[in-house]
Amino acid sequence: MSLYQVQKFLYNLNRDEQIQNSFTKNKEEVLVDYDLTEEESNALVSGNIGLLYVLGVNGQILMHFAAYLKIEWFDYLQAMRDGIAEHGPVRAGIYAMTGGGKQFAQAPDSSDGEGVGDSSQ
Amino acid sequence: MSLVYAGILSHAPGITGRANLVDNEEARDEFYASLEKQRLEIEETGAEVLIVIAAEHFANFFMDNMPAYCIGIGDKHSGPIEDSEWLKIEKTKIPGAPELATRLVKSVMHSVDVAYSEEWRCDHGIMVPLNFLTPDYDMPVIPCNINCQGPPLTPLSRVWQFGEALRIACDEQSEKIAIVGTGGISHWPATPDSGKINEEWDRAFLNQLMHQDKQQLLSYVDEEVYAEAGQGGFEIRTLIAAAAAAGGRGDLQFYTAALPIFAVGCTVARFDISP
């Protein structure tokens, strides 16, 4: 049920500029309204895309959260890979990584898939 | 006949948001040209209203109350919900068609228990198509959603029925109506596999779709789609609904898997409208 609460918060955040403004000012205060574990709350406060991905947050909800956080595209993809490396496979939902960490789209200045965290694009 | 146009197109956020990261500018520009051709074709039909059968991504609906089908009957819609800089589409208002939309809902309800909403926020699933098809936001839009995100999902047989119900509803109206279905085929968006595309699967599906091969189209099973086409493949529902509404054979005007930065096989097609 807790994952539901994480996603419900992000759903509300992603579509409501007032909640976005409130969250920017005081993250913990906004999260009080949701029944979250400490791990989940910390992940939301710190914008830990990798952990949120592993926890099973729907990818579309998480992608919009990453956009709200102004995370560059290839950094966002790498953050999910890093999350799996640190916390293990995705635990729930339909957005599991199936490609073994392979990079399927290259940054314009990347020829071999290395350095995918480069945010200089 | 009040349905004057039916087609499909892709909607991935990268199509607008990551245009600058494309490493195959020729393919991108051909895709954009096909979308412009689609806009002109819709315009040439004299369409007064555009129905967009979309697969939204938690802009309006969540698992607290998730409709399988919903039609927007508001007098205006807003979008995008996403960061404008990220999507590279400015936030705006889109005119609706409340009276017509309500008539459509009433008609569709005879065969499909569709929900309706007077409030509609558009995410990239609708905003990217509108960015190309009605860039001045001067054409009334009726958004329709099929839940493709939060399983359990509506069966494909019901999707076909929804498309047919929309067609019947359109044919009862005096307004000239265009319908587009917008979804991905195989793709793994919003995962580390973003950019992965199963071109063979896409082309087989599109061939069935263009030939109105109802038996094959309705034989897809979500577990197999997930394995072969990713969770993004669930959005074939929007494309199948558009085909069912059209009733006629399709013309695949554009397809490429050569733009992985867009995270989807980029598609544009038009259907004949069956008598």
CA dihedral over B187, B188, B190, B192, signed as positive or negative? negative
Distance, in Å, from the CA atom of B158 to the CA atom of B151, rounded to the nearest integer, reads: 15
Multiple choice CATH, B3-266, 3.40.830.10, 3.30.70.2860, 1.10.10.10, 3.40.50.740: 3.40.830.10
What does the pLDDT look like over B151-192, one tens digit per residue? 999 999 999 999 999 999 999 999 999 999 999 999 999 999
Q: A-chain residues within 8 Å CB-CB of B148?
A: none
In A16-109, where does DSSP find H-type helix? 17-25, 27-31, 38-46, 49-55, 59-68, 73-87
A58: nearest Cα among B146, B239, B147: B147
Would you write out chain B's pLDDT as a tens digit for each of its 275 residues? Answer: 699 999 999 999 999 999 999 999 999 999 999 999 999 999 999 999 999 999 999 999 999 999 999 999 999 999 999 999 999 999 999 999 999 999 999 999 999 999 999 999 999 999 999 999 999 999 999 999 999 999 999 999 999 999 999 999 999 999 999 999 999 999 999 999 999 999 999 999 999 999 999 999 999 999 999 999 999 999 999 999 999 999 999 999 999 999 999 999 999 999 999 99
Q: A-chain residues within 8 Å CB-CB of B260?
A: 104-106
Contact across the interface for A7 and B62, Cβ inside 8 Å = yes
Reduced to 3 states (helix: H, G, I; strand: E, B; else coil), residue A86 is: helix
Distance, in Å, from the CA atom of B224 to the CA atom of B161, rounded to the nearest integer, reads: 22
Say whether residue B123 is in contact with chain A using an 8 A CB cutoff: yes
Tell me how close the Cα of A58 comes to any Cα of chain B, in angstroms.
Answer: 8
Distance, in Å, from the CA atom of B33 to the CA atom of B38, rounded to the nearest integer, reads: 9
Burial B30-49 (b: 16+ CB within 10 A, else e): bbbebbeebbebbeeeebbb
- Tell me B233's DSSP state: G
Q: B-chain residues within 8 Å CB-CB of A108?
A: 21-23
Question: Residue B176 in contact with residue B4, Cβ under 8 Å?
Answer: yes
CATH number assigned to the domain covering A2-87: 1.10.700.10
CB within 8 Å of chain B, chain A residues 33-62: 58-62
Q: A-chain residues within 8 Å CB-CB of B191?
A: 59, 80, 95-98
Cβ neighbours of residue B106 closer than 8 Å, sequence gap 6 or more = none
Q: How confident is the model at residue A110 (pLDDT cuts 50, 70, 90)?
A: low
- Share in percent of chain A as helix, strand, coil (round to 5): 55, 0, 45
Q: A-chain residues within 8 Å CB-CB of B59?
A: 15
Question: Residue B267 in contact with residue B20, Cβ under 8 Å?
Answer: no
Say whether residue A1 is in contact with chain B using an 8 A CB cutoff: no
Say whether residue B62 is in contact with chain A using an 8 A CB cutoff: yes
Tell me how close the Cα of B264 comes to any Cα of chain A, in angstroms.
Answer: 11
Q: Which DSSP string do the residues of B110-171 spell out, in sequence order? A: TTS--EEES--B--HHHHHHHHHHSTT--S-EEEEEE--SSSSPPPHHHHHHHHHHHHHHHH
The two structure tokens encoding residue B201? 């699967």
Question: Residue B163 in contact with residue B156, Cβ under 8 Å?
Answer: no
User: What's residue A108's pLDDT?
Assistant: 73
Tell me how close the Cα of A11 comes to any Cα of chain B, in angstroms.
Answer: 7
Q: Where along chain A do its domains lie?
A: 2-87
